Amino acid sequence: MKHTLEADGINLEFGNRKILSDIYLKCETGKITGLLGRNGNGKSCLMNIIYGTLNATDKSIRLDGRPLLQAYKKPEILLYLPQFNFIPKFLKLKSIFTDFNLEYNELESLFPEFKTKYNSRIKNLSGGQRRLIEIYIVLKSNSKFALLDEPFSHLSPLMIETVKELLLETKKTKGLLVTDHMFRDIIDVSDDLYLLTGGRTHLTKDIKELEFLGYAKL
């Protein structure tokens, strides 16, 4: 069964600074929805509003047309990869994979460099390896939707290619909302693409629109 996650009528202000103006955005299971925007345009704020960890002046977050409140308390519906690292540094990969009920050998087959890391602690991984573990856990855990804030940052080009394959595999069972400044990679994997600019979302049908709207030179 297909599921739909919508953010509608979102308004956000900090003091007298308007960040988001009557935003609409839709994600569906079976699809990757890309979200692009220049620094400071409100992409992380929008994800936090959807996740329920940031209050907005107005908002309607809906799952299959029904209000979805405090999504952060409902991991079976929505998981969130924040921009910052969220797994405590002292944990071993072994215990993380046990706690999340995930098969370590699946990770090893996708990313052979982890073959020697089963007993390593997060603090002994590189920044990119740590990020990769966080992405992997969010994508592999059971949920209908996942929000990914800058999954490609800190990753080497080869890792980015494998993560893109993982995103395409994951969308068969989930809906993904993904934002990153690696816009070509976002364009590559997205079924639907929004540009956030001037506080509003634009559903871009034509990639050239990104250039027209002043986002990037293609």
Ligand X SMILES: Nc1ncnc2c1ncn2[C@@H]1O[C@H](COP(=O)(O)OP(=O)(O)OP(=O)(O)O)[C@@H](O)[C@H]1O
Per CB under 6 A, residues contacting ligand X are 14, 19, 37, 39-45
Q: How far is the CB of 167 from ligand X (least distance, A)?
A: 19
Q: What does the block give as tokens for 215? A: 């986002």
Q: How far is the CB of 43 from ligand X (least distance, A)?
A: 4
Q: How far is the CB of 40 from ligand X (least distance, A)?
A: 4
Nearer to ligand X, 34 or 42 (CB): 42
Q: How far is the CB of 95 from ligand X (least distance, A)?
A: 31
Nearer to ligand X, 41 or 129 (CB): 41
Nearer to ligand X, 84 or 90 (CB): 84
Nearer to ligand X, 85 or 120 (CB): 85
Nearer to ligand X, 16 or 116 (CB): 16
Q: How far is the CB of 45 from ligand X (least distance, A)?
A: 4
Q: How far is the CB of 46 from ligand X (least distance, A)?
A: 7
Nearer to ligand X, 93 or 160 (CB): 160
φ, ψ dihedrals at 10, nearest 5°? -85, 125
Per-residue HEC secondary structure of the chain comes to: CCCEEEEEEEEEEECCEEEEEEEEEEEECCCEEEEECCCCCCHHHHHHHHHCCCCCCEEEEEECCEECCCHHHCCCCEEEECCCCCCCCCCEHHHHHHHCCCCHHHHHHHCHHHHHCCCCEHHHCCHHHHHHHHHHHHHHCCCCEEEEECCCCCCCHHHHHHHHHHHHHHCCCCEEEEECCCHHHHHHHCCEEEEEECCEEEECCCCHHHHHCCCCCC
